[in-house]
Amino acid sequence: MHHSLRFYSQHRQFAIRFYIFWARWTRIPLIGRLVRRVANAYGRNMEGAYLLTATEVEEIVGIAPSLAVGPCDCRTAFSNCDNPINTEIMLGLSGNVFVAENPQEYREITSDEARDILRECHRRGLIHTIVKCRQDFYAICNCCACCCVPLRLSKQYGIGDALNRNDDIVAEFRNHLISHTG
């Protein structure tokens, strides 16, 4: 686990709001291009999200060693809609700093319970993403277009590397598990 993930877990609401605060600077003439360039580098190298299909997200929860559900940080911070809050599925509980440091916010779930949550989120039109800090996958977020920070950074502020698509994401997740357990 990267040390920045521990810091982020302790200051999630501040970080989420901070990302949007700095993204607004992309609209300022002259410095906006620099801010966008720095933000895209951060998205590529530090923390980013990857869009998932319904099939991919179900495959990932099927191979994850342990799961918990807790609050979606984006919807908690912005509350732009009335979609359910407890839709973020944390991956790998033994090493998951979010669950370890905030156990009152999360409850352990089975892969079947996770699939039920995912199907309900899909039915509501929420988008599925897997979130990664450096090399650590730590959560599957099921968020709405009005609150989702990576989507907003990409669509509203042109920070395209905050949210990506990777057709091999399931294999990458599987390889990540193998490298961290074997």
State residue 23's pLDDT score.
Answer: 92
In this model, does residue 1 exceed pLDDT 50? no
pLDDT in tens, 14-59: 888 998 999 999 999 989 999 999 988 888 877 789 999 999 999 9
Q: Strands 88-91 and 67-70, how do they pair?
A: antiparallel
Q: Which residues contact 98 (CB under 8 A, 6 or more apart)?
A: 9, 70, 90, 105, 106, 138, 139
**pLDDT surpasses 60 at 10:** yes
Q: What is the mean pLDDT of the chain?
A: 87
Domain boundaries, the chain: 3-181
Per-residue confidence (pLDDT) for residue 3, from 0 to 100: 56
- Give percent of the chain above pLDDT 70: 89
